[in-house]
Structure 1
Amino acid sequence: MDNKVYDLVGVGVGPFNLSLAALLDELPEVESVFFDQKPHFDWHPGMLIVGTRLQVPFMADLVTLADPTNPYSFLNYLSQKNRLYPFYFLQRLDIPRREYNDYCQWAAKELKNCHFGKKVVELDYIEKGEYFIISVQDIHTEETTTYKGKHLVIGTGSDPVMPESYQSLSGENVFHTSQFLERQDRCRKAKSITVVGSGQSAAEVFRELLKERMMHHYQLNWITRSRSFLSMEESKLSVEQFSPDYVNYFYQFSQEKKDEIFASQDLLYKGISSHTITDIYNLLYENSVSGQEMNVDLQVLTEVKGIKEKGELYEIQCNQWQQNKAFTQESEVVIVGTGYRPNVPGMINKLRSYISWDDQGRYEVEADYRLRLNIPNQIYVHSGISHSHGVGSTNLGLAVHRNKVIINHLIGKEVFPIYDKYVFQNFDAEKY
């Protein structure tokens, strides 16, 4: 057992907790340690497709929106890698997704409070001592070490969602978009491929398959139940909803009203970026030169009702819901882009009685990102809070602000200033 009592123990090291670790590295009054079971930092590795871009500007790095002088900024990463001039000549605010991953890997290697290959297997609470016990297993040696922490921060991310009808078929030929790069060679050998879903991940997979279709000659299908392959809402004033102002506005509503609002905001986070749609249309246009048979089919307004094996193929049972017309589609490979769901980790089972839950089994979360608990210690949380804090909960542009709030609460003073207004528009009518 490590007998030191840490001020904060982090479970999971994705971008949000990595940002927190980087900001805390400059604050010696807080002793923190973060654990992740992966052997090293790796952010959605199955979707690090060449040509894909981060959907927020580079300033939404780990630290800049709190402290532009912090050594873990993206610009300092570029300086250390001798990439400042290439980035300067690139003249873009957005960056390749692969570069964002490399930047985070650079920061993770530099940070002494982040430990990889360490799986948190159990969390417990000692009421008499008022501290948490964190049991951590080394993934290589399988040895378990226990740590003590006054407070926890949970950043376990989300899990890929496979609809029930696909789950028994999951494998080399039926898989989630999150596994695309590891299965890309399989796709190149297929005679037919179908992508299901019309979010950003599905679009990026379809674009990559479309790039290679003329070389590998497969039939390529894309199915969505949406009325079209819809663009994400990216106008300047619309994206102000990814701001601290909007988070505070959203938080004040009842849970029933929050759920209603959130359900109406899908194109803020589920649509396709305009540049991806443009790339796809350009590729479709080029595929059609000289009247060539494209063997590409894009089907909208269509819900997949089920899927079953049919020899070496899969029969996809579809329904065009506006016409209420059923039909089937056959495919050798099926790629499912049906999103992700928050991961409520099993390791917290011993803490469940201390946590308040809503009637849908979701965390009850305070405005400052603490779980509502019946003990004096705190559990801060990064994942599974869209229902409480709204559409920006998974947005990288709000990660640093959230960590400013957490750090201020943890230390008990305003280390990082929090302002009343960050954007031009007003969401709340109270001032009138």
Structure 2
Amino acid sequence: MNAPTAPEDPTAPQESAAAPQQDREQEPFDLLGVGIGPFNLSLAALADAVPGLTAAFYDQRQDFHWHPGLLVDGATLQVPFLADLVTLADPASRWSFLNFLKSRERLFPFYFAERFHVHRAEYDAYCRWVADALPSTHFGRQVDTVRWDEERGRFEVDHTQLDVHGEAEALGRTYARHLVLGIGTAPYVPEPLRPLADAPTLPVVHSADYVPQRERLLAAEHITVIGSGQSGAEVFLDLLRSRTPGREAITWLARTPAFAPMEYSRLGLEHFTPDYTRYFHGLPEPVRDRLVPQQWQLHKGIDTETITAIHDELYRRTLDGGWPDAVLTPGVTVRTAGRIGTTGIELHLEHADQGTRTRMVTSAVVLATGYRERPLDQLLGPLHPYVLRDAAGRPRIDARHRLELDRRITGRVYVQNAERHTHGVGAPDLGLAAWRSAVILNDLTGLLTGAEHYPLPARTAFTTFGLDGAAACDVPTRTAALRRG
């Protein structure tokens, strides 16, 4: 069985190099998505099964790729395969990971492999299978600006059609009653290291670009990895395995107080349930802001398998009586950084507990320093004055993942993975993708038809996170209300 072939989309906007006004009579989509990462791809897959719903999703890239620079050989997801695009909302969906395996005649090999966590490369291939087959996904379309047409009650979305080289081919305008923004995150480079990362002659790269830069990094005399999370651990392990025993010349630095395992206990994982998300959303803003950095081990730790593999590799290199030339130091901040000569890199370091400072020289740096949410303001442009904001100037986002807007805008704008400040550490977690997509679609179909398409559970965790018991019952769906009677 092959992947479904995407039919022609009769409602897709027709671009033209002429003025976009030619499209003015185009029927608006019910929902237009900006960005096609895993989260909007999940929404597109679940929306595909909603009768009568017209939806389209745009992305400026030419095709789907998920963190290609981090597809290190053997690296696996940190969530089980059930956390695919659809299963936790619709186990019978044609777009499930198991159906992907079936289409590739790999279901029995997967069954006998007894793998709960799949390879990242396999997840990437699964997502491409979905993205290539869905009729609602459109690549090579760069969304430029969004406006609200108050008279017609719809959004105007101007976009540019890009060719395979990323050059503009044509301009277009699409109309939509509602929007969903899934523009994702961008690699974060700490301020002291930005000038070096921008210098093309220096091997200072973010881990997002690790795989294509790997050979260049391995050629360096000494390599420094900065960052204590899963990406930093995987990069360090891959470099360590590739260097000669006794001459590894690798340093691993981190701000966190330890190279700590990710919280992966059963009850600890309940922080990634809808129950906890609802509880977190109901907390006062100052409490939410205090909690997120305290919960770093929930999402910035290292899985036990990788920690074990690192220790095993280091231990193996002591069997002949020596020690590997590898330095692992947590609790360290890079204060400043600079260039020495044409190839050297100088890092000025400070240790948090000791209060001491020192300098070190290295030949290459890998920044496993994570990602930051892309700001919405530039994309929203003319809508900026209508977005309600919290005390810190961030967009206010309600329980159904909608931007809180001025009442003059009657269309809804949903966001995906831009709401950690309102929904907590689960916002970027793949395990909540299908549930959040179902919440968004239920809100939309409830508005359009008065009925929710995806029944959602009234409770998802054994833990009751608040004394009022709200986490177990305050579910933003009509389904849960009916169940409670």
Matches within 5 A, 1:200-211: 200-211=230-241
Counterpart of 1:366? 398
Structure 2 unaligned spans of 5+: 1-19, 471-485
Superposition RMSD in Å? 1.5
The residue type equivalent to 2:255 in the other structure is R
CA distance in 2, matches of 1:57, 1:293: 36
CA distance in 2, matches of 1:65, 1:405: 12
Provide the secondary structure at the position in 1 that maps to 2:243: helix
CA distance in 2, matches of 1:115, 1:408: 23
Counterpart of 1:213? 243
Q: CA deviation at 1:207?
A: 0.9
Q: Does the aligned pair in 1 maintain the 2:60–2:139 contact within 8 Å?
A: yes
Q: Does the aligned pair in 2 maintain the 1:224–1:299 contact within 8 Å?
A: yes
Counterpart of 1:152? 179
Q: 1:106 to 1:324 in 2, by over 3 A?
A: same
- Count of aligned pairs between the two proteins: 432
Counterpart of 2:385? 353
CA distance in 2, matches of 1:300, 1:366: 37
Counterpart of 1:70? 93
Q: Does the aligned pair in 2 maintain the 1:190–1:218 contact within 8 Å?
A: no
Counterpart of 1:329? 360
Counterpart of 1:393? 427
Q: Does the aligned pair in 2 maintain the 1:177–1:337 contact within 8 Å?
A: yes
Show CA shifts across 1:371-408 (max 9, x none): 00111110000022001001101111111111111111
Runs of 4+ residues deviating >6 angstroms: none
Q: CA deviation at 1:331?
A: 0.6
Q: Does the aligned pair in 1 maintain the 2:248–2:324 contact within 8 Å?
A: no
Counterpart of 2:455? 417
Q: Does the aligned pair in 1 maintain the 2:77–2:117 contact within 8 Å?
A: yes
Provide the secondary structure at the position in 2 that maps to 1:143: strand
Note if 1:80 corresponds to 2:103. yes
CA distance in 1, matches of 2:116, 2:364: 36
Structure 1 unaligned spans of 5+: none
Q: CA deviation at 1:216?
A: 11
Provide the secondary structure at the position in 2 that maps to 1:305: strand
Percent identical pairs in the alignment equals 38
Matches within 5 A, 1:24-423: 24-140=47-163, 141-170=168-197, 171=200, 172-214=202-244, 217-311=247-341, 312-345=343-376, 346-374=378-406, 375-412=409-446, 413-423=451-461
Q: CA deviation at 1:219?
A: 1.0
The residue type equivalent to 2:192 in the other structure is S
CA distance in 2, matches of 1:122, 1:241: 36
When structure 1 is superposed on structure 2, of 266-275 and 224-233 the one drifting more is 224-233
The residue type equivalent to 2:240 in the other structure is L
Q: 1:278 to 1:252 in 2, by over 3 A?
A: same
Q: CA deviation at 1:238?
A: 0.4
Q: 1:411 to 1:52 in 2, by over 3 A?
A: same
Given the two structures, how large is their TM-score scaled by the length of structure 1? 0.97
CA distance in 2, matches of 1:218, 1:264: 34
The residue type equivalent to 2:191 in the other structure is E
CA distance in 1, matches of 2:313, 2:161: 47
Given the two structures, how large is their TM-score scaled by the length of structure 2? 0.87
Provide the secondary structure at the position in 1 that maps to 2:73: coil
CA distance in 1, matches of 2:94, 2:413: 27
CA distance in 2, matches of 1:378, 1:409: 10
Q: CA deviation at 1:256?
A: 0.9
Q: CA deviation at 1:287?
A: 2.1
